Structures are given as structure tokens and as C-alpha cells.
């Protein structure tokens, strides 16, 4: 599939291409291990196990572990349990996030908290944490330290976010710092841990960590854009949910700087007056001001930084597949009026 934007043709990987990459790196075995772990030792409430196994996401994080391990000698056999552990950690954070946010939809299915209650969702998240730690522990202290850092960074990012809710004076730099803690750190450690356990050089590990960090920021910005450009059916979770919770993402922060009606926009946010009519007004301002375009431009810049680090790594299938993952994440086809030609100096930071 190709897409033309501003006379540039982008080769966008299809879902089938991504499925092929997952198959090549053994994602089926990772999900098999997850199923096995969910079946052992702890009797989950009736139907919860099946619900969880049928609610698979994109699998980006475990895939990054497996592909990064492909740069070394030990490859996916040694990386498989680690990939499963990090996906289980991600599942734990989602279970807890849905309780905190009161979300009723996750990956196009009813969330655990909505179907079985907050208590079950919290306990399930704790169960995932315990299981993931059991899978990580055989890898030794350096890996478990990084595993702990993922959790600490996510919690730090959540606290930082909580301090800025419904604040129209929020800074783009603070948004990027939070994104670094909440999302990019996880991506970075997935690449770094996969690289470490494969036995490659410290310099290559560093480049993969940096690739993962920039990829993670681009991923989150793109996700925040789609919150305004997609339907609930396409997203598999509630749309405009962040703003309703008081979280100001990059498109909103750009609009607050660019809109001629920034006073009204800021007042709506500060007064927490997030009605359907005001959401429509905000969405129109995002389009009129080019906030969506600027946000996608920022995602593309972080994608470029990811690619710089990727190009410092040796060639081969692992490198090619990480490039494909990057292109898949930056796919602008679902982004209304996206412009991939913006430069740093164009952004109203």
C-alpha cells in the first residue's frame, strides 16, 4: 500500500506484512506462553481468562523484544519468555488504567472493570505483575533492574500527568517528558532488554534503546492524534477520552497556541465543561488551526530520530523489520489532513 502526501509517496506496511513479521519472530509462541501462564496456579474468575486471551492488542512491545534479540546470537528462543513477561506487564498496566480512568472499553471489547468490577480488574493487574516478575527473574539483576525502571517510569509519568489535568497553560515540553516516562521508556527498555539478552555490544544496545525511545514518543503522539480522527469502533476504546479526563495531549496543546479562540478553548478546559457541543467545537479548532498537522509533524520528527539510530545498526532482517514497524506506526492514512513535510522550525513550541 502506498500513500501520496505533498507529492511524497510513503510505503505503508499492511496488516498482513505486520502479521508476517510477528510470525517470523515467534509471537505465536509468546501468546502460547501467556495462555499457559494464565492457566496455572491462580484460579481466575469464570470467563476472565478467555476474555483476556481474546483481547490481544498490536503486540508492539513483545515484538520489539524479539526483533531486538535478533541482532545477536541467542535470538528469539531466549527472548520468548522475556517478551511474554513484558506483554504481561503491559496488560497489568491496562487493567489498572481502566480502573483509574473508569473506561468501559478496551481493544474493542468490554473492559475487565466494566464486566467484572474494579476489584477483579485490580487483582488481575496484580496477578499479571506477579506472573511477569516470575518470568523475568531467571534473566538476572541487570534485566530485572530495567524491568523495575519501566514500572517506576510509568508511575512517575502518571503522577506528572495528574498534576497537569485541565490546565490550559500546560507546556508541550512537559507533555513530551510525560510521554517519555509513560510510553517511550517502555519501548526503549523492550528494545534494550531484547538486545542485552542476545549478547550484542553495549554500543548496539544503546542505539536500540534510543530507537525504542523515539519510536515510543512517535507512537504516543500518533495515538493521541487518532483520539480525534477515528471512531470508537476503529480505536477499540472510547474516543476523546483523554480530554474528558483532563489530560491535554499534543493536538490540544498546539490548538491552545494557534487558535484565535484560544480564550474560549482554555475556558472550556479549565472549567471542565466537556460537553458534546464543546467537543465538536474543539475538534473543529484542531482542524482549522492545523494542530493535527503539527502533531503529526512532531511524530514524524521523532520517527526520523528513531531511524537515525536504526541506521547505526548492522544490516539484516532484524533491522529491516524494525524499519517496517516504524513505518507502520507512522502510517498517516488515518490522520486527517496530515502533513509529513513539517520541519522543527515550523512547530509552534
Question: Three-state SS string across 142-197, please?
Answer: HHHHHHHHHHHHHHHHHHHHHCCCCCCCCCHHHHHHHHHHHHHHHHHHHHHHHHHH
**Distance, CA of 153 to CA of 180 (rounded, Å):** 8
Q: Which helix (H) or strand (E) is 321 found in, with range? A: helix 317-330
Q: Please indicate, yes or no, if residue 300 is contained in any of the structural domains.
A: yes
DSSP string, 41-77: SS-PPTTHHHHHHT-----HHHHHHHHHHTTSSSHHH
**Which residues constitute the domain of residue 56?**
11-346
Give the pLDDT of residue 100: 81
CA-to-CA dists, residue 109 to 53, 236, 237, angstroms: 12, 7, 8
Q: How many domains does the chain have?
A: 1
Contacts of 246 (CB under 8 A, 6+ apart): 165, 166, 269, 272
Q: How many CB atoms lie within 10 A of CB 162?
A: 11
**Distance, CA of 50 to CA of 111 (rounded, Å):** 13
Q: Please indicate, yes or no, if residue 171 is contained in any of the structural domains.
A: yes
Q: Please indicate, yes or no, if residue 2 is contained in any of the structural domains.
A: no
**Distance, CA of 270 to CA of 87 (rounded, Å):** 36
Question: Would you say the pTM of this structure is higher than 0.85?
Answer: yes
Contacts of 198 (CB under 8 A, 6+ apart): 68, 69, 70, 71, 72, 73, 74, 75, 78, 79
Q: What is the pLDDT along the chain (349 residues), one digit of tens a residue?
A: 333 333 333 455 667 888 899 999 999 999 999 888 888 766 777 788 778 777 777 899 999 999 999 998 756 578 999 999 999 999 899 888 888 877 777 655 788 888 888 888 888 889 899 999 999 999 999 999 999 999 999 999 999 999 999 999 999 999 999 999 999 999 999 999 999 999 999 999 999 999 999 999 999 999 999 989 876 666 655 668 889 899 999 999 999 999 999 999 999 999 999 999 999 999 999 999 999 999 999 999 999 999 999 999 999 999 999 999 999 999 887 665 444 444 444 454 5
Contacts of 113 (CB under 8 A, 6+ apart): 95, 98, 99, 102, 103, 104, 120, 121
Q: Please indicate, yes or no, if residue 263 is contained in any of the structural domains.
A: yes
User: 274-303 burial by CB neighbour count: b if 16+ within 10 A, else e?
Assistant: beeebbeebbebbbebbbbbbbbbbbbbbb
Give the pLDDT of residue 345: 47
Q: Please indicate, yes or no, if residue 116 is contained in any of the structural domains.
A: yes
Q: The cell 531466549 sits on which residue?
A: 78
Q: Please indicate, yes or no, if residue 3 is contained in any of the structural domains.
A: no
**Distance, CA of 225 to CA of 293 (rounded, Å):** 9
Q: Please indicate, yes or no, if residue 160 is contained in any of the structural domains.
A: yes
Q: Please indicate, yes or no, if residue 68 is contained in any of the structural domains.
A: yes
Q: Which residues partner with 9 through β-bridges?
A: 4
End-to-end CA separation in angstroms for the chain: 33
Q: Dihedral sign, CA of 4, 224, 211, 321?
A: negative
**Distance, CA of 211 to CA of 281 (rounded, Å):** 37
Contacts of 71 (CB under 8 A, 6+ apart): 195, 198, 200, 204, 208, 313, 314, 316, 318, 319
Q: What is the CATH number of the domain that holds 141?
A: 1.10.600.10
Please report, to the nearest 10 degrees, the dihedral formed by the alpha carbons of residues 257, 262, 268, 270 taken in order: 50
Amino acid at each position: 500500500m502506498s500513500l501520496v502526501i505533498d507529492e511524497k509517496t510513503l510505503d505503508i506496511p499492511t496488516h498482513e506484512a505486520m502479521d508476517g513479521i510477528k510470525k517470523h519472530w515467534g509471537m505465536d509462541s509468546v501468546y502460547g506462553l501467556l495462555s499457559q501462564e494464565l492457566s496455572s496456579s491462580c484460579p481466575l474468575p469464570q470467563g476472565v481468562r478467555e476474555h483476556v486471551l481474546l483481547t490481544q492488542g498490536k503486540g508492539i512491545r513483545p515484538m520489539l523484544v524479539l526483533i531486538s534479540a535478533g541482532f545477536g546470537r541467542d535470538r528469539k528462543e531466549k527472548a520468548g519468555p522475556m517478551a511474554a513477561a513484558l506483554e504481561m506487564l503491559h496488560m497489568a498496566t491496562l487493567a489498572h488504567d481502566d480502573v483509574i480512568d473508569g473506561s468501559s472499553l478496551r481493544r474493542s471489547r468490554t473492559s475487565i472493570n466494566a464486566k467484572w468490577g474494579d476489584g477483579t480488574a485490580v487483582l488481575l493487574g496484580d496477578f499479571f505483575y506477579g506472573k511477569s516478575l516470575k518470568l523475568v527473574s531467571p534473566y538476572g539483576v541487570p534485566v530485572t533492574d530495567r524491568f523495575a525502571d519501566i514500572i517506576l517510569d510509568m508511575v512517575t509519568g502518571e503522577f506528572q500527568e495528574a498534576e497537569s489535568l485541565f490546565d490550559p497553560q500546560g507546556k508541550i515540553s512537559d507533555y513530551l517528558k510525560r510521554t517519555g516516562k509513560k510510553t517511550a521508556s517502555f519501548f526503549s527498555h523492550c528494545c534494550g532488554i531484547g538486545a542485552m539478552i542476545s549478547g550484542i555490544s553495549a554500543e548496539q544496545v544503546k542505539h536500540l534503546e534510543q530507537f525504542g525511545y523515539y519510536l515510543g514518543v512517535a507512537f504516543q503522539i500518533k495515538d493521541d492524534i487518532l483520539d480525534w480522527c477515528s471512531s470508537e469502533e476503529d480505536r477499540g476504546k472510547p474516543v476523546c477520552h483523554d480530554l474528558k479526563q483532563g489530560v491535554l495531549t499534543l493536538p490540544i496543546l498546539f490548538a491552545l497556541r494557534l487558535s484565535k479562540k484560544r480564550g474560549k478553548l482554555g475556558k472550556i478546559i479549565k472549567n471542565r465543561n466537556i460537553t458534546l457541543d464543546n467537543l465538536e467545537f474543539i475538534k473543529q479548532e484542531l482542524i482549522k488551526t492545523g494542530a493535527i498537522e503539527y502533531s503529526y509533524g512532531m511524530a514524524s520528527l521523532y520517527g526520523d530520530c528513531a531511524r537515525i539510530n536504526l541506521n547505526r545498526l548492522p544490516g539484516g532482517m532484524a533491522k529491516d523489520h524494525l524499519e517496517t514497524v516504524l513505518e507502520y506506526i507512522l502510517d498517516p492514512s488515518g490522520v486527517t489532513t496530515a502533513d509529513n513535510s513539517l520541519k522543527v522550525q515550523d512547530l509552534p513550541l
